[in-house]
Structure 1
Amino acid sequence: MTVQTTFEDGTERLALKDFTEKAYLDYSMYVILDRALPHVGDGMKPVQRRIIYAMSELGLKASAKYKKSARTVGDVLGKFHPHGDSACYEAMVLMAQPFSYRYPLVDGQGNWGSPDDPKSFAAMRYTESRLARYAEVLLSEISQGTVDWVPNFDGTMREPAILPARLPNVLLNGTTGIAVGMATDILPHNLREVAKACVHLLDNPRADLDEITEIVPGPDMPTDAEIITSRRELKKVYETGRGSVRMRAVYTKEQGEIIITALPHQVSGAKILEQIAAQMQQKKLPMVSDLRDESDHENPTRLVIIPRSNRVDVEQLMAHLFASTDLERTYRVNMNMIGVDGKPQVKDLRQILVEWLSWRTEIVRKRLNHRLAKVLDRLHILEGLMVAYLNIDEVIAIIRHEEDPKAELIKRFGLTEIQADAILDLKLRHLAKLEEFKIQSEQNELEEERKKLEGILGSDAKMRKLIKKEIQDAAEEYGDDRRSPIVEREEAQAFSEKDLLSSDPVTVVISKQGWIRAAKGHEIDAVGLNYKSGDAFKLACKGRTNQPTILLDTTGRSFTIETHNLPSARGQGEPVTGRITLPKGSTIDAAVAGKDADKILMASDAGYGFVAKISDLTSKTKNGKAALTLPKNANIISPIKVATPETDLLAAVTNEGRLLVFPVSELPELARGKGNKIINIPSARAAAREELVVALATLSKDDTLMVHAGKQHLRLKPSDIEHYRGERGRRGNKLPRGYQRVDSLEVDSKQQEAEQPEE
């Protein structure tokens, strides 16, 4: 409870807590209601409203000559808005910029800024301005009794509390503002669409939001860039009054170059080029060789991006730029405004239109009542004038001879004071006979207008019809086509570090003691590399810098290592346990590298296997993931790539010299597991580890299979391989004597081309 004491000398005492609380609340309400938030009626904040009204008072209509902006700003500050001149001028500039306002209210001459730098406008002493044609939507009815007038800041003048807008400007131009404890972010919309939605609501007052969003599908910015937010998300924004909308630049391809022709709202082309150039300097865009800005008067936006070669994936490059630069931008939506009840509230789209229509109906009713009062007043005067003309000689005699002609006229003819004054104000030239016909004609016209006005005021249907016609006329005069197309697009993804890597061939080498390193190229003598004392070569794997290397341990778990950041083979590498966590007692026994979609054969020497993708084996943790389930005492066989699983053959050979060839397609494609039987090894021999698979190879039907056994090798042509063909899981046939102790299998393909470096 506030306790206030007033002393005899007029001094007031108030607790500091109460004073500060009241002062802050008063300030907050002032900022909310009289500075930062727009009114649902005319969609304007006070400073904007005062600028437009001051310009109309200066006679700066769209057909008038331009006047210095300093003159307008001076009038606004001196008469209505005692604040900073720079802030007032900036608000005026914003209303004049066609790239800031969807429907500019001010027509500027001079430097009013550019899309690259909206704040590069000249000082107000240099620029000239007048109202744009669209401003008539706000001002045309201001003198017709439509609005309340309030004293200005010093009480010497009156200003309109609100402008009588003929269209819902709050949606057409949108606005942004920050108050105390609340803010507003309303995006611009297309005039024709909003007008059509208003007409639809007048015809169908119970229309729901679904019907309205069919007519107004989304915002319409003052730019040709695409709105890529989905229809479902846009509808949710309009349901709640809150959310976000995304815009994306538009580009085309010309002779291998990327041409950006439209940028999102309030995005600078110069800033875009800076952002792309910064990425090029940081080596994050190796696929771009040059940038150009070819924007001019004919092409306001024309940014040229030149790819390094015609093999660059343009869609992927642009997706990265959309995700990492302002070529794609998100706009916050918070449709917070001051309602007809004078209270701030976040409103949904239907609520805004319904409330505006009710406000507009009241404005039109005031206008019609104002006009009706004028008509009735004039009819009243004409009625008195007609009495005078019908008794002209007597009226002249009274005026000539009576001391108080006014009182005598009132007494003699039963006139009112207003009618008597009108008769006494008549000029002699108006006493002609012709004037009687003019009065009758004017009476008839006004009587018709009176009936029409009273008919509209007495009928809701006629009132709606009038409002509907006025909205349609305004839409016809000031409307235009949608500028920002609504196109649903997938979310853009920026390049990862791996995507930006060059695809250089490397060989990953692992030593017996578990040290790992990477050597450039595939023609590497891995055995001849320098190893630590007591250490030696164990295995090598060919891959590329932008592909992951998959390591497989003795338990069948897979681990993923990024190939590009492995230490160079010039040194002795680093312990692999620094990058992954191996189960106790296990070691790395195999490795493979490739693209995520590459397919490989996973198998154990117990004769079981399956086909898997590299992506199935990729693990995001140091602990790896279970990949191949090994039978008891079985070991893993180095994975081999499968080029075409649908047509390739698989050759499997055991240490007993049994060879079986069958289609790879007979093996299942799994993410992990034991797999199916590749070649039949009797269970007794398998348990005793007497027989096991020693080598696997994939080949096409036209390839030659080389069987290496010690210093000897056997060439099996396609016709020879038929002898060893069989169904998966069979025993296979014995190789000839001398070739049964197989060391490895090798495929000799005449069709195989030399490996080409990848892009």
Structure 2
Amino acid sequence: MPQELIHSEYSEIMQKSYIDYAMSVIVQRALPDVRDGLKPVQRRTLYDMYELGIRWNGPYRKSARIVGDTMGKYHPHGDSSIYDALVVMAQDFKKELPLVDGHGNFGSIEGDGAAAMRYTEARLAKITQEAFLADLDKDVVDFVPNFDETEKEPSILPVRIPNILINGAEGIAVGMATSIPTHNPGEVIDLMIAYMKNPDMSTKQAMQYVKGPDFPTGGIVTNKDELEEIYSTGQGKIKLRGRVITEPGRAGHTKVVVTEIPYTMIGSGIGKFLSDTAALQENHLTNDISDISNQSSKEGIRIVIDLKKGADVDNFINLLYKKTKLEDTFGVNMLCVCDGRPETLGLVPIIRHNVEFQYEINRRKYTTLLNKEREKKEIQEGLIKACDCIDLIIEILRGSKDRKMACDCLVNGNTEGIKFRKKTSEKAAKTLLFTQKQADAILDMRLYRLIGLEIDALRADYDETMKNIANYTDILENRESMKKTIIADLRKLKKEFAAPRKTTIDNVAEAVIVEKPVEETDQVVLIDRFGYARGVDTATYERNKEAADSESRRVIFCKNTDKLIIFTDTGNADTLKVLDLPLGKFRDKGEPVDNVSNFDGSKERALFLGSISEIVGKEMYFITKRGMIKKVAGDEFLSSRKTIAATKFKDDDELVAVGILDPDSTIEIKTEKRHKKKLSAADFPLKHKTAIGNIGISLKKGDFVKEAGFVKL
């Protein structure tokens, strides 16, 4: 066969392929559909459980069985993604209405992972069976082929409540992400009913029903006034706080107890909160903490912080809000798949799409039910008619050679070949004219149906069928009747599954920390040869002066409000607060300088370590390996930053010596090849810290400055 070569730009092929890939991830994996609020993996998992008959009131089945069946039939993307989706749908601390009833270890709010799928079991939750899957047998949604076209799966589940709002959603696609908060089921159902009665409602009117998010973890939403804008645009930031109470402790102490956490703290956030709270004490932001304990259990969150006697409780709680994740933001981006494409929707548009979906699935449901009732009516009419002339039918059956002959007589009145006892019977048989379905039902009818009570029951069933036909026809032809039907269903679901709101919605002022003034005292900082620093008061130093001077690499006299500064061979000046160093007894262990500053002892060498107050008002000298020298005013190193550039030099240079300049002394420079040079402070001008400096000593090839210092200190 002749082959045709198609020439195309490689960039065009890559662009098209990437767009196809991106849209596949967006629509078929990462984003939920606005109608059922489910991602494909969630939808397929729930449908597979439905197909396997794992009902809410039946036995649990192994999660591995569910995952394997889902992967083999509907979702060929790996078992971990399916099991992760199953686990999340079973976690009541992540979902407002869990869709799966899990049995076993399905993880915890503190970040513990679920057990392996071979150990856990699951079944459908009652809400899932009744509100998500109940009408699948009534042709309410389209079924599409699975990945290998060996099975059929629903393109959407016939969810009867706005699940996308109730359970929220999180997902990262290509170039976009969704983040929808959870909401109270009762409020969302009320809003749906209200919208059906008033389709022209505004966001403000809608928020009379849905006050705001309702997170499974409770907490407090603190920016109530901003919610209307968020729900109008579908984007914004919700400010969350954990709920804190106080309890009396022993001997007049107070306990600060966290009983609810922000939704964003689920998982490892609790452990980080505990470490961040402990760090408040370690970093001297507070001295009020005496103990921290996590007493959380299955009954709920309980993190207890014991405060010292006389602590300012309100100020400490504000400190928790400001310095830890006890106050956090939840980024809202209500992005979902709408009409086959990603779209960011506000509160009212989401409800509108869900209401339209309800009308669609109810139209298909009642059309199916009406057709079934009409079929039933046809058969019931045939059976009633047959009961009225049962003797004639028995005569036809006794006189026929086979079923086909009897059926042909009942349907077409063909009596040829049938033996009748009376000529009148043959004449009457020709006028029966049942339909094919009626004839089949008559032939399949059992004799006990001829009992008088059974005939009465048959007539009662027929009357019920006629009522159903009238009811279904009214629902399909009258939109108002369908609306009432949908509202009645919604109210039943609300009555059974609604729960009180957990999250409080309010306007709360920003937390303000009142920093207590630190009482200024004299202090001595001792730095040992291993780089550990600690502070002692002057009286302790005087008592241990001899040992302190002999064991310490550096002894610095300063105030507790002072800062220490470290000049390194890389040209940086790192600062740290004296308050960040432990203050205690002489033999107490110190803190590595690396831990409380940006200084890295493994990569750089400290050339000078002293207090800021030491160098203020003085002049500093800097001497580099290439023989450059300069002096800089110590005041230039006053900065609020932890690290600044102390000097400037070429890439192949480094600092060799830094110190406080003594105007009455002479600096002596020594090189590797034993050359020396002496300079007085007047020999070089005052420079800025950003300057390179002047040539302090001329070096021959291969020579460099080895050390420098004062001849007289």
Q: 1:297 to 1:232 in 2, by over 3 A?
A: closer
Give the distance between the partners of 1:132 and 1:563, measured in 2 at CA: 58
Q: Does 1:219 align with 2:218?
A: no
Matched residue, 1:274: 275
| Structure 2 residue identity aligned to 1:504 | E
CA contact (8 A) 2:615 2:634 kept: no
Q: Which residue of 2 aligns with 1:502?
A: 518
**Distance across 1 between alignment mates of 2:87 and 2:351:** 28
1:454 equivalent in structure 2: 473
Matched, 1:291 2:292: yes
Mapped partners of 1:569, 1:217: distance in 2? 54
1:20 paired residue number: 14
Residue type at the aligned position of 2:373: V
C-alpha distance in structure 1 between counterparts of 2:7 and 2:393, whole Å: 71
Q: Which residue of 2 aligns with 1:377?
A: 375
Identify the residue that residue 168 of structure 2 maps to in structure 1. Answer: 174
SS in 2 for 1:275: helix
What's the CA shift for 1:181? 2.3
Sort the Cα spacing of 1:406 and 1:18 in 2 relative to 1 into closer, same or farther, 3 A.
farther
Q: 2:63 maps to what in 1?
A: 69
User: Given the alignment, which residue of 217, 221, 238 partners 2:231?
Assistant: 238
Deviations 1:246-283 (A, max 9, x none): 21111112221211111111414322111222343333
- Could you tell me how far apart the structure 2 residues matched to 1:251 and 1:444 are? 63
In structure 2, do the counterparts of structure 1 residues 223 and 417 end up closer, same or farther at CA, with 3 Å as the change threshold?
same
Report the residue type matching 2:292 in the other structure: L
Partner of 1:334: 333
Q: Residue 79 of structure 1 aligns to which amino acid in structure 2?
A: K
User: Which structure has the highest helix share of the two?
Assistant: 2
Which residue is 1:303 aligned to?
A: 303
Deviation of 1:405 after TM superposition, in Å, equals 2.1
The one-character-per-residue Cα deviations of 1:376-408 (angstroms, maximum 9, x if unpaired) are: 010011122222222222222333334522222
Residues 570 and 168 of structure 1: CA distance in aligned 2, closer, same or farther (over 3 Å): closer
User: Which of 106, 112, 117 in structure 2 is aligned with 1:112?
Assistant: 106
Deviations, residues 310-332 of structure 1 (Å, cap 9, x unaligned): 1x322222222212211112111
Q: CA deviation at 1:216?
A: 0.9
Whether contact under 8 Å (1:284, 1:500) holds in the other structure is no
Moved more, 361-370 or 14-23: 14-23
The alpha carbon displacement at 1:88 in A equals 0.9
- Distance in structure 2 (CA, Å) of the matches to 1:374 and 1:23: 47
Distance in 1, Cα, partners of 2:119 & 2:150? 30
Gaps of 5+ in 1: 1-6, 508-519, 522-542, 547-561, 582-759
- Of 100, 104, 121, 2:114 maps to 121
Deviation at 1:569, TM superposition (A): 11
Q: For each residue in 1:510-543, what CA deviation from the matched residue of structure 2 results, as whole angstroms up to 9, or x when unmatched?
A: xxxxxxxxxx99xxxxxxxxxxxxxxxxxxxxx9
- In the alignment, the residues of structure 1 paired with residue 504 and residue 367 of structure 2 have an alpha-carbon distance, to the nearest angstrom, of 43
1:248 matched to 2:241: yes
Aligned to 1:103: 97
Aligned equivalents of 2:343, 2:287: Cα separation in 1: 50
Q: What letter matches 1:101 in structure 2?
A: K
Deviations 1:16-41 (A, max 9, x none): 44443333222222211111111111
1:107-186 paired onto structure 2 within 5 Å:
107-118=101-112, 120-135=113-128, 136-186=130-180
Q: Distance in 2 between matches of 1:49 and 1:13?
A: 42
Q: Displacement, 1:13? A: 7.5
C-alpha distance 390-29 of structure 1, shift in aligned 2 (>3 A): same
Relative distance call for 1:322 and 1:408 in structure 2 (3 A) is: same
1:346 aligned to which of 344, 347, 351? 344
- How do 1:390-401 residues align onto structure 2 when only pairs under 5 Å count? 390-401=388-399
Q: What is the SS of the residue equivalent to 1:206?
A: coil
Indicate the residue corresponding to 2:355 in structure 1: 357
Q: 1:282-681 residue pairs with structure 2 within 5 A?
A: 282-298=283-299, 300-310=300-310, 312-339=311-338, 341-402=339-400, 404-412=405-413, 413-492=432-511, 499=515, 502-504=518-520, 574=617, 579=635
Match of 2:505, SS? coil
What letter matches 1:411 in structure 2?
Answer: N
Aligned AA (2:493): A
Residue 35 (1) aligns with residue 29 (2)? yes
Q: Within 1, Cα distance between the matches of 2:522 and 2:480?
A: 81
Tell me, yes or no, if structure 1 residue 257 matches structure 2 residue 252.
no
Q: Offset at 1:12?
A: 7.9
User: Cα RMSD (Å) of the superposition?
Assistant: 3.1
Structure 2 counterpart of 1:602:
none
The change in CA–CA distance for 1:245 and 1:419 in structure 2 (over 3 A counts) is same
Distance 1:451 1:56 in 2: 32
Q: Distance in 1 between matches of 2:255 and 2:272?
A: 20
Q: How does 1:718-757 map to 2 (within 5 A)?
A: none
CA distance in 2 between counterparts of 1:188 and 1:159 reads 27
Percentage identity across paired residues of the two chains = 36
2:699 aligned residue: none
How far is 1:168 from its partner? 0.5
Contact 2:615 2:635 in 1 (8 A): no
Q: Distance in 2 between matches of 1:12 and 1:71?
A: 48
Distance 1:433 1:475 in 2: 44
**CA offset digits 1:310-359 (Å, max 9, x no partner):** 1x3222222222122111121111111112x2222111101111111111
8 Å contact kept, 1:506–1:545: no
| 1:575 Cα deviation after fit | 5.8
Give, in angstroms, the shift of residue 75 of structure 1: 1.1
- In structure 2, the residue corresponding to 1:247 is in which secondary structure? strand
Are the counterparts in 2 of residues 245 and 332 from structure 1 also a CA contact under 8 Å? Answer: yes
Q: SS in structure 2 opposite 1:474?
A: helix
Q: Match of 1:35, SS?
A: helix
**Shift in Å at residue 141 of structure 1?**
1.7
**Which secondary structure does the structure 1 equivalent of 2:217 belong to?**
coil
**Stretch of structure 1 that moved more, 103-112 or 253-262:** 253-262
Q: Which has the higher contact order (CA 8 A, sep 6+)?
A: 2
Paired letter, 1:419: Q
Q: Counterpart of 2:440 in structure 1: which amino acid? A: D
- Shift of the alpha carbon at 1:570? 9.2
Residue 574 of structure 1 aligns to a residue whose secondary structure is coil
CA contact (8 A) 2:387 2:455 kept: yes
Q: TM-score w.r.t. structure 2 length?
A: 0.68
